[in-house]
Amino acid sequence: MLIKIPKSYDLKESDVTPEAVYLNRRELLKGMGFLGAGALLATASANANAGWFSKDEPRKFKTTPLKYTPDTNPDKLILTPESKVISHNNFYEFGAQKQQPQELAQNFNVNPWQLTIGGACDKPITLDYHDLSSMFPLEERIYRLRCVEAWSMVIPWIGFSLADLLKKVAPNASAKYVLFETLDDPEQMPGQANRRLGGGIAYPYVEGLRLDEAMNPLTLMSVGLYGKTLPPQNGAPIRLVVPWKYGFKSIKSIVSIKLVSQQPQTTWHKLAPKEYGFYANVNPEHDHPRWSQASERHITTGGLFARNRIKTLAFNGYGEQVAHLYKGMNLRRFF
Amino acid sequence: MKRKTSTANKVFMLKVVIHLAAFLPLFNLYYLAFNDLLGADPVQRVIHFTGIGAFNLLLLTLTVSPLAKKFKQGYLLPVRRLLGLYAFSYAFMHILNFLAFDLQFAWLLFFNEIVKRPYITVGMVAFVFLAALAITSVNLLKRKMGKSWQILHNFSYLITVLVSIHFYWSVKSELISPLFYFILTLILLAFRYKKIKALLFSIVKKK
């Protein structure tokens, strides 16, 4: 008979780190407030896809190719590389730091999905995952994206006009505004479950447009980018893109669109009404209280030495198509 | 005699560790940033990294004397200068990143932003004081300044408070990290409760 006397250094079953804790060890480190070398190492490995922590590299979300009419890109806009578009995201549901959504959203489940369109309309409908990309012919739209934080990109979105969708539900006379809501699912969205990770904003995220803004042909419901379905960090399976407004208006992972009679209370506006207006039209002449909006850091290729500071355009360069919506309005008051 | 050398050795080793721990991350940061390996927006990353790094080093500097006192390790005190100088270097890079890589040497915008944005004003005031401490850290000036040197270097407490305000004020919505740093600042200042109280009284009296 083998008699085993445990040595003082032998590990007991109870000493084993629970798997969930082990899998979350990077988050634990970050959670402890070590924003210094730890953050840098995490970044280095994530960026170089290095093998240091290769075992906990997230399982990659599968995107699929879409059929669409290509944009001829008449303005010859130079696209921001796909790798940057999908790794630099403000999607606080998956972490408030720019690289976190890519790291933390890869297991996000978008199928099945339900998007309900209702409120003040005659024919409310509910779309499922398959409907999102098959209900309307898809087209590519190459748009400038201007973040309220004064950086910008150029992104080839794929989708359909929100106007087409709204016409289907037949808005009635009391419909004046459109209210959008992101999925509320703390189990899938760690930022909703953890206040520090989620940046301390209220969930679910809500945004809104005036009905005429929503009906403008530029306003896009996007289901893809760079020829494929949206990655989760960019708002899969369906998101809004309003190219003449600051990026926070373009709400991601939408589950509800509602026609309403009153101007809705929107997430960032509620949090800091002096900093983020309901309209949030890109306006180089109206500064954010804490930084200038006159110019922007344009994200293309190149490291620190890229000469990428450019002047910000009124309505982000889409004045011709949308300035008439705001005729006679004081845009300093309704910022 | 033997005791003395071993203390000198300890200080030397500690300084080597500080040099490595403070310099290597900075080297790594700029290596990645220049080679476009630091995410989509390396500008934001280098600004934030050097900013929070400066704050970490500042707090670390203020941790030395309470530690030395508590554990009676007086030999630790000389490393404060090295840590403080690294805090200054990180703060200097923080501002240089903003000027050179974010604003791309738009000097007018740079000065406008310092004046117009209260959180930047507060940070800049802290940096000017920090620069004064860095310059007067050389032995020659320390000797020449006599008593006024200590008075000037008591500004490190004010600097830390200003930096924590600058951090708190700069964020968009996430308040937990700035609050954590604010509490750390208060704890470190609490160790100097008597000294700070006396300093404040002497200011009131002079008026």
Strand partners for A117? A125, A257
On the question of pLDDT at A40 being above 60, the answer is no
pLDDT tens digits, A116-166:
999 999 999 999 999 999 999 999 999 999 999 999 999 999 999 999 999
DSSP state letter for A312? P
Q: What is the mean pLDDT of residues A262-278?
A: 96
Please report the pLDDT score of residue A29 as a whole number. 44
- pLDDT interval class at A34 (50, 70, 90): very low
Average pLDDT, chain B: 93
Higher pLDDT, A305 or A74: A74
On the question of pLDDT at A63 being above 90, the answer is yes
> With contacts defined as CB-CB under 8 Å, which chain A residues touch B29?
40
Does A131 reside within a domain? yes
Does A149 reside within a domain? yes
Q: Are residues A222 and A314 in the same domain?
A: yes
Does A226 reside within a domain? yes
Task: Return the closest-CA partner of residue B66 out of B185, B188, B197.
Answer: B188
> With contacts defined as CB-CB under 8 Å, which chain A residues touch B106?
295, 309
Q: What percent of chain A has pLDDT over 90?
A: 78
Does A80 reside within a domain? yes
Q: Are residues A158 and A264 in the same domain?
A: yes
B119/A87 touch (CB, cutoff 8 Å), yes or no? no
Q: Is some CB atom of chain B closer than 8 A to the CB atom of A96?
A: yes
* Whole-angstrom distance, CA of residue B135 vs CA of residue A180: 55
B21/A37 touch (CB, cutoff 8 Å), yes or no? yes
- pLDDT interval class at A45 (50, 70, 90): very low
Under 8 Å CB pairs connecting chains A and B tally to 105
For B178, nearest residue in chain A (alpha carbons): A33
Q: What percent of chain B has pLDDT over 70?
A: 97
Mean pLDDT by 10 residues, chain B (207 residues): 71 93 96 92 95 97 94 88 97 97 94 96 98 95 92 95 96 92 96 90 78
On the question of pLDDT at A206 being above 50, the answer is yes
Q: How does DSSP assign B155-170, residue by residue? A: HHHHHHHHHHHHHHHH
Q: Are residues A37 and A66 in the same domain?
A: no
Please report the pLDDT score of residue B17 as a whole number. 95
Q: Is some CB atom of chain B closer than 8 A to the CB atom of A82?
A: no
B170/A290 touch (CB, cutoff 8 Å), yes or no? yes
Q: What is the mean pLDDT of residues A204-223?
A: 98
* Whole-angstrom distance, CA of residue A180 vs CA of residue A185: 16
> With contacts defined as CB-CB under 8 Å, which chain B residues touch A303?
33-38, 42
- Residue A284's domain is classified under what CATH number? 3.90.420.10
> With contacts defined as CB-CB under 8 Å, which chain B residues touch A201?
173
- What is the per-residue burial (b if ≥16 Cβ within 10 Å, else e) of B73-84? eeebeebbbbbb
Beta strands A254-260 and A151-161 are unpaired
| Number of domains, chain B | 1
On the question of pLDDT at A17 being above 90, the answer is no
Q: Are residues A32 and A130 in the same domain?
A: no
Q: Are residues A42 and A182 in the same domain?
A: no
Using a CB–CB cut-off of 8 Å, the residues of B that contact A are 21, 25, 28-30, 32-46, 49, 52-53, 56, 101-104, 106, 109, 112-113, 116-117, 119, 169-170, 172-177, 180
The partner residue sitting opposite A99, judged by closest CB among B39, B116, B119, is B39
Q: Is some CB atom of chain B closer than 8 A to the CB atom of A262?
A: no
On the question of pLDDT at A46 being above 50, the answer is no
Q: What is the mean pLDDT of residues A13-27?
A: 52
Higher pLDDT, B136 or A302: B136
Q: What is the ipTM of this complex?
A: 0.86
Does A3 reside within a domain? no
Q: Are residues A247 and A313 in the same domain?
A: yes
* Whole-angstrom distance, CA of residue B197 vs CA of residue B205: 12
Q: Residue A31 in contact with residue A104, Cβ under 8 Å?
A: no
Q: Identify the domain containing residue A34 by its residue range.
A: 13-57
Q: How far is A15 from chain B (nearest CA, A)?
A: 30
Residue that the structure tokens 């026609």 belong to = A259
Query: Has this prediction a pTM greater than 0.80?
Result: yes
Residue B168: Cβ-neighbour burial (10 angstroms; 0-12, 13-18, 19+) = middle
Does A332 reside within a domain? no
Does A331 reside within a domain? no
Please report the pLDDT score of residue A31 as a whole number. 42
Q: What percent of chain B has pLDDT over 90?
A: 80
Residue type, A265: Q
Q: Identify the domain containing residue B22 by its residue range.
A: 2-206
For B51, nearest residue in chain A (alpha carbons): A36
Q: Are residues A99 and A226 in the same domain?
A: yes
| Number of domains, chain A | 2
Please report the pLDDT score of residue A215 as a whole number. 98
For chain A, the distance separating the N- and C-terminal CA atoms, rounded to the nearest angstrom, is: 82
What ranges in chain B are assigned the alpha helix state H? 2-34, 42-70, 79-96, 107-116, 118-135, 139-145, 147-153, 155-170, 176-190, 193-206
Q: Are residues A256 and A129 in the same domain?
A: yes
Average pLDDT, chain A: 88
Please report the pLDDT score of residue A301 as a whole number. 84
Please report the pLDDT score of residue A47 as a whole number. 42
Q: Is A3 left (phi over 0), alpha (psi -120 to 50) or beta?
A: beta
- pLDDT interval class at A4 (50, 70, 90): low
Q: Are residues A283 and A262 in the same domain?
A: yes
Please report the pLDDT score of residue B11 as a whole number. 87
Least confident of A9-18, A162-171, A176-185, A206-215: A9-18
Q: How far is B7 from chain A (nearest CA, A)?
A: 29
